[in-house]
Chains A and B, each alone.
Chain A
Amino acid sequence: MEKLHTNQTGGPVAGAPENAKKKMPPWLAGLIGLAVIVGVYGILKLLIWTEVISIYYADYLNLILINMILGLGLNLITGITGQFSLGHAGFMAVGAYTTALVVLNTSGSLVSILGGILLGAVLAGLLGLLVGIPTLRLKGDYLAIATLGLGEIIRIFITNTDQKVLGGSAGLSGFPIFTTFEMAFFGAAITFVVVRNLLKSSYGRACVAVREDEIAAESMGVNLAKVKIMAFVVGTFFAGMAGGLFTGYMGIIQPKSFDFMKSIDILMIVVLGGLGNIWGTLVGAIVLGIVNIFLQDLSSVRMIVYALLLVIIMLVKSGDTRFFVWLRKLFNWKKWTPAFLSKKSGVK
């Protein structure tokens, strides 16, 4: 978050020609970006192929990539635009069920799978538009509760509709596990590129302005409703896409996979990586993925760790140094505490 600001306003004031020399032409930057993505893909594929990453972990990698998509979508809504959404899992459910229905009712070829995922994403985005127009008028906490309610409504609706259509609480199954590493990887790559480019555009700056101060943004000519809805629709679109990939990853979907806890899992990724920081979201998804491998069988310990992390990250981020002081006392790590933190606690 802070990084963004220093990029735009901070730093030494360089002369204009020098600045121009440093700037890459957009096509070159795009090409380098593409090369990096293909390179990362190649390396990961090689590692899987040579079984450095075993089949078990390769499978897990898909889930991490899907979580990256979810995290990036939520980060756009909550981290970058500042609209707190707690119903992300609901939009994911829309994408997941759409994809499952498409795959179940067609041949199940690659085209129908990709078409199903796309349709799911579009429907989730449309729902986001439909819901966003009225609810985004709400401020902060109210929006959080309204989106939470919305996610629950979607889940309860799926659980209670005709079993023949959506499978009720037992869910839908009977389709193959179709999500390949390529789908998950390029899904995540596309999401990252879209969110990153959006962030660098005037829309992205408008989003940040809305987060920082709605009234100031509005008086500078930012169309609040438009910007919020744009962010919400893009975020929910990707939630739908991730839902489709999740369907193909699990091979079975149930309404309970898309409950409030799932929304919190996604929020956790975003918070851990840093609200508004898209690189952080990627790191957050990887770190939480690794934590989950270790705590898989201890779900209550996992949730305690999650909860503590949420609280501690928020406290530390707000300049509360008690945690570090406490750690230092606990381990007697005088040297360990970074200088800027001990300085801060000195002031306090």
Chain B
Amino acid sequence: MDFSWLTHFDSFVQQMINGISIGSIYALAALGYTMVYGIIKLINFAHGDILMVGAYVGYFCVAVFKMPLILAMVVAVAACGVLGVLIEKVAYRPLRRAPRITVLITAIGVSFLLEYVMVALVGAESKAYPAGSFGGGNLMLGNIAVDIQRLYVVGITIVMMIVLQFIVKRTKIGKAMRAVSSDADAAQLMGISVDRTISFTFLLGSGLAAVAGVMMGAMFTINPLMGMQPGLKAFIAAVFGGIGSIPGAMIGGVLLGVIETVVTASGASAYKDLAAFVILILVLLIRPCGILGKNVREKV
């Protein structure tokens, strides 16, 4: 273990920005998990793979059609939104009244389907976005060099969160989402189309995952199995913050990113992934409802 980064102010700031930017990506993906879980009580295992599809759509837009990254992001959001809605319609909707274990197995199946169809389509090898497609270089804050990409990630995430908050809190469909998540049957009696609301939730969640996917792809490399790790991490982040809670997912994501960066910066990068799972198990045992979640008692 090496904690010398703590004593140097500049490396401390750099590590924190790294952590927050990774955490932002987790947070964006965690929002999809938490919204879907909140509304149909399903762990959408395929969510990480929707992120992967988003990264690939973005890649083809940038590398083949020479689009600017921001436009690629819009295309990826649209494509993944449609994909998410389609998956829900085909695979999850018929199982709405089925036992949870059945739906969970289906979700795992969908996840593997997306991964290996992608392997069959584009091959298993890693690809990288064209250099410079996501800006580059460093920004000097005093004498601290900060990677501009990381700042973009944080900025885009904040914009996304504001948009999401607006949709959920201020629009009619957002109100419907909240109503369905608190009681689907009552919402239906009030004239809310539950099916359409659930579709919209998938659209929104998948779109956010696509944004996270394009940013991840532009920062690192992409491959068809890239969605699995961030998918699990994002789920852990959602549980950490309190599953079903939107602010919880944001806080959980950023905290998880920071914790991982601290573990990596302290010289234990091999145990980075371990940290996330240990957090998950501890949270589940000590406070299963997460940081912001509400403890719901089971009714007979």
Q: State the A residues within 8 Å of B (CB).
A: 78, 82, 84, 134-135, 137-138, 140-142, 144-146, 148-150, 152-153, 156-157, 159-160, 215, 260, 264, 267, 271, 275, 300-301, 303-304, 306-311, 314-315, 317-318, 320, 322
Interface status of B57 (Cβ within 8 A of chain A): no
Neighbouring B residues of A135 by C-beta, 8 Å? 281, 284-285
Interface status of B60 (Cβ within 8 A of chain A): no
Subset of 11 A-B contacts with CB under 8 Å: A135-B285, A137-B285, A141-B41, A144-B104, A160-B270, A215-B300, A304-B120, A308-B113, A314-B102, A314-B109, A315-B95
Q: Give the total number of A-B pairs whose CB atoms are below 8 A apart.
A: 122
> How many angstroms between the C-alpha atoms of A76 and B87 in the bound complex?
31
Extra A-B contacts (8), CB below 8 Å, given A267-B105, A267-B108: A84-B104, A141-B43, A145-B280, A160-B271, A264-B112, A300-B119, A304-B116, A304-B120
Most buried by B among A78, A146, A311: A311
- Contact status B98-A318, CB under 8 Å: yes
- Contact status A315-B43, CB under 8 Å: no
> How many angstroms between the C-alpha atoms of A144 and B116 in the bound complex?
22
Neighbouring A residues of B64 by C-beta, 8 Å? none
A152 contacts which of B42, B91, B110, B277 (Cβ < 8 Å)?
B277
Interface status of B124 (Cβ within 8 A of chain A): yes
> How many angstroms between the C-alpha atoms of A304 and B247 in the bound complex?
36
> How many angstroms between the C-alpha atoms of A149 and B232 in the bound complex?
9
> How many angstroms between the C-alpha atoms of A314 and B112 in the bound complex?
15
Most buried by B among A137, A275, A300, A322: A300
Q: Which residue of B lies closest to A156 (CB)?
A: B274
Interface secondary structure of A, over-half rule: helix
- Contact status A140-B101, CB under 8 Å: yes
Neighbouring B residues of A308 by C-beta, 8 Å? 109, 113
> How many angstroms between the C-alpha atoms of A310 and B101 in the bound complex?
12
- Chain A to chain B: the 4 pairs with minimum beta-carbon distance, closest first: A310-B109, A307-B112, A307-B113, A149-B277
Given A264-B112, A301-B120, A303-B115, are A140 and B104 neighbors across the interface (CB < 8 Å)? yes
Neighbouring B residues of A148 by C-beta, 8 Å? 232
Most buried by B among A267, A306, A322: A306
Q: Which residue of A lies closest to B109 (CB)?
A: A310
Given A141-B100, A304-B113, are A314 and B288 neighbors across the interface (CB < 8 Å)? no
Q: State the B residues within 8 Å of A (CB).
A: 41-43, 91, 94-95, 98, 100-106, 108-113, 115-117, 119-120, 124, 228, 232, 235-236, 239, 270-271, 273-274, 277-278, 280-281, 284-285, 288, 298, 300
Neighbouring A residues of B278 by C-beta, 8 Å? 153
- Contact status B105-A310, CB under 8 Å: yes
- Contact status A145-B115, CB under 8 Å: no
Neighbouring B residues of A307 by C-beta, 8 Å? 109-113, 116
> How many angstroms between the C-alpha atoms of A82 and B102 in the bound complex?
11
Neighbouring A residues of B239 by C-beta, 8 Å? 142, 145
> How many angstroms between the C-alpha atoms of A309 and B102 in the bound complex?
13
B109 contacts which of A82, A84, A301, A311 (Cβ < 8 Å)?
A311
Given A315-B94, A318-B95, A320-B94, are A149 and B281 neighbors across the interface (CB < 8 Å)? yes
Neighbouring A residues of B109 by C-beta, 8 Å? 306-311, 314
Neighbouring A residues of B94 by C-beta, 8 Å? 315, 318, 320, 322
Neighbouring A residues of B271 by C-beta, 8 Å? 156, 160
- Contact status B91-A264, CB under 8 Å: no
- Contact status A153-B277, CB under 8 Å: yes
Neighbouring A residues of B228 by C-beta, 8 Å? 260
> How many angstroms between the C-alpha atoms of A260 and B300 in the bound complex?
35
B96: min CB distance to chain A, Å: 9
- Contact status B102-A317, CB under 8 Å: yes
> How many angstroms between the C-alpha atoms of A60 and B112 in the bound complex?
25
> How many angstroms between the C-alpha atoms of A142 and B116 in the bound complex?
26
A237: min CB distance to chain B, Å: 22
Q: Which residue of B lies closest to A317 (CB)?
A: B102
> How many angstroms between the C-alpha atoms of A186 and B44 in the bound complex?
40
Most buried by A among B43, B111, B116, B273: B116
